[in-house]
Amino acid sequence: MSLMTGEEYVESLRKLKLNVYYLGEKIDNPVDNPVLRPSLNSVKMTYDLAQEAEYEDLMTTTSNITGEKINRFTNLHQSSEDLVKKVKMQRLCGQKTAACFQRCVGMDSFNAVYSTTFEIDKEYNTNYFENFKKFLTYVQKNDLTVDGAMTDPKGDRGLSPSKQADPDLYLRVVERREDGVVVRGAKAHQTGICNSHEVLVMPTIAMRPDDKDYAIAFSVPTDAEGITMIIGRQSCDTRKMEKDADIDVGNKEFGGVEALVVFDDVFVPNDRIFLNGETEYAGMLVERFAGYHRQSYGGCKVGVGDVLIGAAAVAADYNGAAKASHIKDKLIEMMHLNETLYACGIACSAEGHATKAGNYQIDLLLANVCKQNITRFPYEIVRLAEDIAGGLMVTMPSEKDYKSPEVGKYVEKYLVGVASVPVEDRMKILRLLENICLGTAAVGYRTESMHGAGSPQAQRIMISRQGNLAHKKKLAKKIARIED
């Protein structure tokens, strides 16, 4: 079985015994929890689309390991064309969900770990590459969703992992056994962890020799003993828990969730270890993963942006303002910014190249330029969307008031826009805008655009490294006829 249906995916999660907490209480059934279910539906869409003939070329490919048809989210990129299709696939999924569909981090982890383990084995004669190929074969054959876990809590950012007052603020090995290792620590901001079958853990920064215990990469099932998931709060999240919630939720079917994931003395068998103390390769793994994931934002954020732009345009229609020249100009600017982000994602893909392991890596400079723009443009797109929508987006009475026998008639009377548009439809589009701009989807669009895949400064550091300023100086000196 190389491809699961969406329903098969949902049922596969029911078999997991996850240790999930939300609002201080353990969630015994994460699959059907009203707060968590929309995020599961977003992942389900990646399975549903892979079953549709219209999207087969984008959503599926052939495994270079097994030769079987697989979901592209489990793929090792084999060409620049693969990298381009990845971005197009992500835009499609963003358009279909208007939320985070959560499988990108795992896919990006696969490609970074694959090429890095190959090079570690060549130097140290370790067995990490074969370990990882065995793991990925299992993932591909069963079409699993894998959470890529990189970000540690970090504690005092001015101190290295081994110098922290609390040594657990970076995930580390606390015991080495003949058959594996025991790890302790946590990973923060873990998108979709409660919707994943496996977690693939990586170090979060480059390591020094005295950080050896922190230079660890591995995979374990998400319901492994010792793993606890604490779901993060989001703006407007408890609206989903309200009885008969509909209009006020905005994006009712889809969403995304993040969690603080605690590893409390979790055992990792030897054949699931992909890095173990080779500190000089931690930086390579981080850099490659970050590059792939910064490329990803040129697809997923653009797809959500398409929905946001469409919602703003519909709001303008319903407000009776669509013909105003300034509204048209703002929508044009939103589209211009969104397509620029997409162009960056395509560009770094088209300039991809083969690694020593054989899979393809994006152009790191252009990937970091892509993500740098992502830290800016979505904020401007949101600003323009809020401008077009008007203040009613955040001051509108609730759905319960609209349906109230006492005051509903007033909401119906005074929230009317264009006479031909039902008030309920106007409320729905404004709540969708609120959801993407400010609510639960904002985690997957606006705020996550800033911090996901590294802070803006992280991209600027990489742009400085990859920009080859010395070469640019030589070009200028040659044109100016200056000899060194």
Asked, for residue 476, whether it belongs to a domain, the answer is no
Where does a domain end: 246, 279, 312? 279
Residue 481 dihedral angles phi and psi, to the nearest 5°: 65, 45
Residues 323 and 268 occupy one common structural domain: no
The catalytically annotated residue of 93, 100, 344, 437 is 100
Residues 273 and 290 occupy one common structural domain: no
Residues 332 and 234 occupy one common structural domain: no
Residues 266 and 370 occupy one common structural domain: no
- Give yes or no: 348 in active site: no
Residues 267 and 312 occupy one common structural domain: no
Question: Is the model's pTM score more than 0.85?
Answer: yes
- The CATH number that applies at residue 176 is 2.40.110.10
Sheet strands side by side (includes 172-177)? 25-27, 20-22, 227-231, 259-269, 180-187, 172-177
The catalytically annotated residue of 293, 342, 360, 386 is 293
CA pair distance 56, 442, nearest whole angstrom:
29
- Give yes or no: 380 in active site: no
CA pair distance 476, 397, nearest whole angstrom:
61
User: Which residues pair with residue 360 across a beta bridge?
Assistant: 354
The catalytically annotated residue of 104, 194, 344, 370 is 104
Query: Looking at residue 454, what DSSP letter applies?
Result: S
Where does a domain end: 247, 279, 311? 279
Asked, for residue 475, whether it belongs to a domain, the answer is no
Nearest to 211 by CA among 155, 279, 264: 279
- Give yes or no: 126 in active site: no
- Give yes or no: 258 in active site: yes
Residues 248 and 328 occupy one common structural domain: no
CA pair distance 17, 147, nearest whole angstrom:
16
DSSP letter string over 242-270?
STT--GGGSS-S-----EEEEEEEEEEEG
Where does a domain end: 236, 263, 279? 279
Residue ranges making up the domain that contains 419 = 285-470
Mean pLDDT by groups of 10 residues along the chain of 484 residues: 93 98 97 97 98 98 97 98 98 97 97 98 98 98 98 97 97 98 98 97 96 98 98 92 94 95 98 98 98 97 98 98 98 98 98 98 98 97 98 97 98 98 98 90 78 92 96 97 93
Query: Residue 442 has what pLDDT?
Result: 57
Asked, for residue 307, whether it belongs to a domain, the answer is yes
Three-state DSSP state, 22: strand
Residues 202 and 185 occupy one common structural domain: yes
- The CATH number that applies at residue 336 is 1.20.140.10
Residues 246 and 390 occupy one common structural domain: no
In the numeric block, the tokens 């591995």 are attached to 218
CA pair distance 321, 313, nearest whole angstrom:
9
Asked, for residue 436, whether it belongs to a domain, the answer is yes
The catalytically annotated residue of 191, 222, 279, 440 is 191
Residues 314 and 217 occupy one common structural domain: no
- Give yes or no: 178 in active site: no
The catalytically annotated residue of 297, 318, 342, 445 is 297
All residues at 6 or more sequence positions from 90 whose CB lies less than 8 Å from its CB, including other chains: 104, 296, 299, 300, 302, 303, 345
Provide the token pair at 174. Answer: 């606390």
Residues 95 and 152 occupy one common structural domain: yes
**Residue 433 exposure: Cα atoms within 13 Å on the Cβ side:** 30
- Give yes or no: 412 in active site: no
The catalytically annotated residue of 258, 278, 399, 434 is 258
The number of distinct structural domains making up the chain is 2
Asked, for residue 349, whether it belongs to a domain, the answer is yes
- Give yes or no: 370 in active site: no
CA pair distance 449, 481, nearest whole angstrom:
44
CA distances from 444 to 100, 222, 258, 408, 432 (A): 5, 22, 10, 33, 14
Indicate the annotated binding residues for FAD. 191
Indicate the annotated binding residues. 191
- Give yes or no: 93 in active site: no
